[in-house]
């Protein structure tokens, strides 16, 4: 497990270098370790290295880990994958953050469930910056109108935007996705005058480029924890 602490330190140094190239402080960038497919003991190793919030794609897997690690008071969970309305109750129960909001139906259901739980949820709106049909997220042109509807849901603490950039070795095309996110953020700020501080973009293969384009949160999994596992190997039936 010492490898995890070493990997985290390496990523921290790379974040600092990327921020410096962009004339930014590394304190402006939050590293979100993505623990999907990893067992609780691996998460505890990252926790021992100083990290308290972890990203998970699948609600059932995240919920099981939240229950298994419930005695660690300061561990928090960020759901970063697409959410169906029938899983909103679970997210409202255990998650601190949801980074993939792109549906008013989901927003309404989350708000209702959060009120029942007496909780609030940090939320990022997902944008399809690469214009790929297979990806979730709103087209950039629809984000402003969508966010206007979110004011009705007062249990949602809407903080910013999230995207999955094009998966490509062509840095110019990937950078174009990140530049699009900056444009959407500016449009929202021009309309609202404040807020929209969070830009969650960049993963293991492109987080440095994302930082150079204004990312405030980078989601890094395999560069910290290694190759993905099959969660069924340690928790049969956990996926879903």
Give 190-210 pLDDT, tens digit per residue: 998 888 999 999 999 999 999
Give 83-130 pLDDT, tens digit per residue: 999 999 999 999 999 999 999 999 999 999 999 999 999 999 999 999
Give 137-158 pLDDT, tens digit per residue: 999 999 999 999 999 999 999 9
CA distance 199 to 215: 5
CATH architecture under which domain 2-225 falls:
Alpha-Beta Barrel (3.20)
Higher pLDDT, 240 or 189: 189
What b/e readout covers 173-192, taking b as 16+ CB neighbours within 10 angstroms? ebbebbebbbebbebbeeee
């Amino acid at each position: 497990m010492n490898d995890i602490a070493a990997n985290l330190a390496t990523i921290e140094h790379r974040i600092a270098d990327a921020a410096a190239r962009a004339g930014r402080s590394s304190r402006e960038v939050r590293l979100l370790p993505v623990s999907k497919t990893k067992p609780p003991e691996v998460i505890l190793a990252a926790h021992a290295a100083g990290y308290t919030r972890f990203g998970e794609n699948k609600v059932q897997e995240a919920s099981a880990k939240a229950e298994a690690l419930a005695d660690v008071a300061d561990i928090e969970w960020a759901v970063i994958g697409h959410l169906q309305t029938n899983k909103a109750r679970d997210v409202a129960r255990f998650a601190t953050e949801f980074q993939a909001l792109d549906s008013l139906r989901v927003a309404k259901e989350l708000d209702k469930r959060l009120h029942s739980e007496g909780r609030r949820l940090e939320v990022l709106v997902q944008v399809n910056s690469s214009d790929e049909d297979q990806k979730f997220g709103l087209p950039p042109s629809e984000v402003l109108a969508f966010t206007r509807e979110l004011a009705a849901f007062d249990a949602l603490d809407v903080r910013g935007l999230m995207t999955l950039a094009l998966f490509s070795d062509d840095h110019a095309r990937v950078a174009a996705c990140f530049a699009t996110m900056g444009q959407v953020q500016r449009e929202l700020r021009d309309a609202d005058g404040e807020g929209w501080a969070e830009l969650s973009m960049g993963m293991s293969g492109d987080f440095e480029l994302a930082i150079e384009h204004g990312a405030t949160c980078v989601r890094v999994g395999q560069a910290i924890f290694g190759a993905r596992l099959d969660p069924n190997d340690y928790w049969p039936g956990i996926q879903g």
